[in-house]
Amino acid sequence: MSDTKIVKDSSKRKPPAAGMGRPQGSLNKTTQAAKDAIAQAASELGGAARLVEWVKEEPSNERVFWGTIYPKLLPLQVNGAGENGEHVLSGGITVTFKLPDGN
């Protein structure tokens, strides 16, 4: 009797695009669905006019608007007016920020 046995390849064939992932820049479907639902709810609740009304109802609401909601519209990276994006302060002082890795 022989101690060897033949084992068939049990791995399944993968589709041609397996492991490639989503194309760069495409949105996650769940994230897009959540954003759409929030936009629809905001519209049905009165949209921009209702937001303004809410902000004016109480001073703490205005603080929330300027401190939490509005900053979400601002860019994450701000470049200054200098030649290489430096921030130029009044009096001609130039401020350059360097990251620890030297960039």
Cα(81)–Cα(92) distance, integer angstroms? 12
Cα torsion angle, 23, 28, 29, 33, sign: negative
pTM across the whole model: 0.47
Winning range, highest mean pLDDT, from 9-13, 42-46, 87-91: 42-46
State residue 79's pLDDT score.
Answer: 67
Residue 35, pLDDT > 80, answer: yes
Domain boundaries, the chain: 29-77
Instruction: Among 4-8, 32-36, 43-47, 60-64, name the one with the lowest average pLDDT.
Output: 4-8
**Structural contact between residues 61 and 69, judged by C-beta atoms closer than 8 angstroms:** no
